[in-house]
Structure 1
Amino acid sequence: MLFLGLLLLLTLLAGTRLLWSRWRLRSLHLPPFAPGFLHHLQPNLPIYLLGIAQKLGPIYRLRFGLQDVVVLNSKRTIEEAMVRKWADFAGRPQTPSSKLVSQHNQDLSLGDYSLLWKAHKKLTRSALLLGIRDSTEPLVEQLTQEFCERMRAQAGTPMDIQKEFSFLTCSIICGLTFGDKDDTLVHAVHNCVQDLMKAWGDWSIQILDMIPFLRFFPSPGVWKLKRLIGNRDNLVEQQLKRHKESLVAGQWKDITDYMLQGVGQLRENEGPGQLLEGHVHMSVVDLFIGGTETTATTLSWAVAFLLHHPEIQRRLQEELDSELGPSASDSQVTYKDHRRLPLLNATIAEVLRLRPVVPLGLPHRTTKPSSIFGYDIPENTVIIPNLQGANLDEMVWERPYEFWPDRFLEPGKSPRGLSFGCGARMCLGEPLARLEIFVVLARLLHTFTLLPLEGALPSLQPQPYYGVNLLMQPFQVRLQPRGLGVPGLA
């Protein structure tokens, strides 16, 4: 009886709050409303939201569980909010799930907008772009070459390329962040990230954001996530301790060294906000969560599309042979080569356009009352940028659902997509991700021909979308070393 009474009370409170919110907003010119409250259960949510936009226009409201949100479905509406009025839309809703995975709300990706958040972002961005500037590309090239050598040992046999890409990207992040790419550490970090993402994406966690009062009830999913977060924090703390013990003033060998020294300097100079070691801790977490599976999944989508389009794979190999020479073993793929490889750049851009790994970005929150194209947007409104929907906008893209890399080969014809977001909250790891994707694909296609298993092309339909990342259906591929006489493709 006590349980039922509490449930009824919470339901009444939620209903009262909803009615009060509607009454308070009655005088505003709000975006049109899409009826219903189970929208989030749609298996292909970004495409479903784009379908609603075709009826109501590119900006509308709907209800995710008990929460009203505004969805932006076009490049124009997203850029209006996130670029031209970025300060109004730079907030982050502090949801039950985000509070679970953040350490005392010091997370960068999920943290709310503030002066302290800006200082945290500046430090992390500086570590990525300045602290490891000279070591990033050599490390990516070295690990990619070693990756291809391992793949050559398995040539011709079916392999789970998604898993191999996942270990490769984790090795790169381990090397850049901790200065250590030992297999034991890489496997520990990789398993930690995999377990966390799976637990965080579980319905028992995601539903807390839709129906917040459920957090007051026992949940095995929450208990499991908290245990995994404890494991995550122990792993990171061990690395921070190791770095502090060997830290030399004015010197750094990796991102962690750079950020620890940056935090110390800000304390001495009384910079904006009090950045603490916990901020370094959560920056490291963000780098692993945001920098391993996202890049690995993009590489996997690229392989899947090329298996479906062998003629584009053939043209890419001809371009690589022409610019880098016919033998991959005698050449080094560097990012400066990207200007000489326009078709490879176009192919990467097309994969990112069609399959942005975080298709709905992360939700934003308005920091003050604002507007988008004549519609009033109240303060504290949750905003969802449908990045995949914007990348399929028929007003911007010709033949938007078609895999057609050549669209990017015509100067001025096709704008850049929004796969990494835009504005103040755009992905800090975009330069690193683009470097990795380019170097790995160039080396892979120069060394191997990608072949499907007989009669088993991979599905180009993603798994049902309920979490953060757009995941692929599992598939296998054969890597045939080039020059071994594969008909039409060698």
Structure 2
Amino acid sequence: MFESSMLLLAGLAMVLLLLAWRRRGVRGLPLPPGPAGLPLLGNLPQVDKSAPYKTFMKWSKEYGPVITVHLGPKRFVILSGYQIVKEALVDQADDFAGRAPVPFSIRILKGYGLGISNGERWRQLRRFTVSTLRDFGMGRKKMEQWIQEESRYLLESLRETKSVPFDPTFLLASAVSNVICALVFGQRFSYDDVNFLRLLQIINNVVRNGSSPWGPLYNIFPKLMDHLPGPHQTMFKQMEETKAFIKEKIHQHKETLDPDNPRDFIDCFLIRLEKEKDIATTEFHYDNLVATVMNLFLAGTETTSTTIRYALTILIKHPDTQERLHKEIDSLLGQHGVPQMEDRKSLPFTDAVIHEVQRYMDLVPLNVPHYATKDISFKGYTIPKDTVIIPMLHSVLRDEDQWEKPWTFNPDHFLDKNGNFKKNPAFLPFSAGKRVCAGESLARMELLLFMVSIVQQFHLSTSGGPSSIDIKPERSSFTNVPHQYQLIFTPR
């Protein structure tokens, strides 16, 4: 009995010492405060699995805007509020430029590509990707013309629905994806291309399943989850299909490559690869090409198309907003004018609505995880090397010090008293700093041109009316996934 009691006390002492050691930080400097957790599991049992950011927001009110959380064996530092996130990502941009080695992405891409790389690999690929996409028109007039052309295909397909209710998820995804496909593959795909639609279905499945509890669970316990059945195993198989499609496209480009006349991103990468094939330290090799193309294809398809789909449901939910958009767009373009980027300044309410949709939708509430590639001193604390850092975009887009009505859809957040568009520094749906979304200018252009084209030509509704629309997310984890609805597009 005595021995059992001593063992129990010794075990309890070890647990307390472990917790104290985890709080101590590095070289005696303190970690940010945070909730006490359990051995091995940490704070995982306390987290809302359906919407982790809600738990983090609650803890930030209790412990402050910089907190330490342990999820399983991993240490996380959560940053909350516009001022704190800005200080980290912008004012200390170099310290917070690291990208976390997300196990799900590591399993698929083996650490290659632009998305989750760090150091020299990230610098080389980021510089090349941004400059190459810009050369092919990203953010420029040429890209505007591509989007205008794709809008015509989209509008024609919407007219063919004959005002019958249908789910526009994959039609919108096809239109948006074709823009990035033009940049990366040098081609667009028909909306009824079976192989293309299969890839869009895979992307949709990965986002939905990744935003269920299965996604975070895999990223916290990857070695365990690798041996267990579940949706994550299906996702890996489907992502291999996507990778095979990309490899085939690269092979086709190799067969037809003209080094003097590059057609797209893949051609430019292949030319650089050949030029640097004898340089041992080059990052321009086949694995990085496959992974970077995959990064661009996935990111350039799902995020913008989902935002447009959500915007359409918002307009049905708020018919007064839709009517005001119709009037503003009609007064400038009528029924036949072709929307252009230069129209933005003459469409302040439209611009405000698009911005407010992005703010209110809060597409990536936790942000893409950052990483401490070295010990970081921040706000009097030490963030130890190898800590995962979450600069919560949700806390920025809902910051009560920055937005008059943060929990309400309200386009007036982006309008001054005279009805002119006004910026807000806390509008950071694309994040900020050195890891800001590389496709931000493309996404902004697509959102304006596609949205104006659709609203100009159609009245939006559903069979159940505005009350049938739930604008709260269906799933919340890595992304806020909106509900899918059968929408009616009635020509105006």
Q: Structure 2 length normalisation: TM-score?
A: 0.87
Q: Which moved more, 1:383-392 or 1:185-194?
A: 185-194
The CA RMSD measured in Å over matched residues stands at 2.6
Confirm or deny: 8 A CA contact 1:123 1:262 kept in the other structure. Answer: no
- 1:82 maps to 89
Secondary structure of the equivalent of 1:480?
strand
Note the residue ranges of structure 1 that are not aligned, 5 or more in a row.
1-12, 483-490
Partners of 1:216 and 1:356 in 2: CA distance: 30
Aligned to 1:7: none
- Output the CA distance in 1 between the equivalents of 2:227 and 2:21: 25
Q: Does 1:440 align with 2:441?
A: no
Report whether the alignment pairs 1:409 with 2:415. Answer: yes
Q: What does the per-residue CA deviation read over 1:27-49, in whole Å, with 9 as the maximum and x for residues that have no partner?
A: 32322202433344432332332
Count of aligned positions: 463
CA distance in 2, matches of 1:144, 1:300: 15
Match of 2:126 among 117, 121, 126: 121
Does the 8 A contact of 2:165 with 2:488 survive in 1? yes
Which residues of 2 match residues 234-383 of structure 1 at below 5 A? 234-267=244-277, 273-324=282-333, 326-327=334-335, 330-383=336-389
CA, structure 1 residues 132+271, in 2 after alignment: closer, same or farther (shift >3 Å)?
A: farther
Three-state SS of the structure 2 residue aligned to 1:292 is helix
Distance across 2 between alignment mates of 1:216 and 1:147? 40
Q: Distance in 2 between matches of 1:271 and 1:79?
A: 37
Task: List per-residue Cα deviations over 1:382-423 (Å, max 9, x = no partner).
Answer: 111110121100111111111111221226673351110111
Q: Please, which moves more after superposition, 17-26 or 68-77?
A: 17-26
Cα distance change on mapping 1:472 and 1:307 into 2, 3 Å: same
Distance 1:121 1:264 in 2: 19
**Secondary structure of 2:271's aligned partner:** helix
Letter in 2 for 1:295: T
**Pair 1:66-2:67 in alignment:** no
Question: What's the CA shift string for 1:144-184, capped at 9, x where partnerless?
Answer: 11111111121422121233212222222223321222333
Q: What is the match of residue 34 of structure 1?
A: 35
Identity %: 27
**Matches of 1:443 and 1:407, distance apart in 2:** 24
The 8 Å contact of residues 50 and 475 in structure 2, kept in 1 or not, is answered as yes
Distance 2:189 2:311 in 1: 28
Cα distance in structure 2, aligned partners of 1:413 and 1:262: 39
Conserved 8 A contact 1:335-1:438: yes
Q: CA deviation at 1:75?
A: 1.2
For 2:234 and 2:133, how far apart are their aligned partners in 1?
A: 32
Q: Secondary structure at the match of 1:158?
A: coil
Where does the alignment leave 5 or more consecutive residues of structure 2 unmatched? 1-13, 37-42
Q: Which moved more, 1:414-423 or 1:237-246?
A: 414-423
The 5 A counterparts of 1:398-477 are: 398-410=404-416, 414-455=424-465, 456-466=467-477, 468-477=478-487
Distance 1:15 1:124, change over 3 A: farther
Distance 2:452 2:248 in 1: 36
SS at match of 1:129: helix
* Aligned-partner Cα distance in 2 for 1:14–1:295: 47
The TM-score normalised by the length of structure 1 is 0.87
Corresponding residue number in structure 2 for 1:5: none
1:174–1:213 CA distance, 2 compared to 1 (3 A): closer
Using the TM superposition, name which of 46-55 and 401-410 deviates more: 46-55
SS in 2 for 1:123: helix
Question: 3-state SS of the aligned residue for 1:449?
Answer: strand
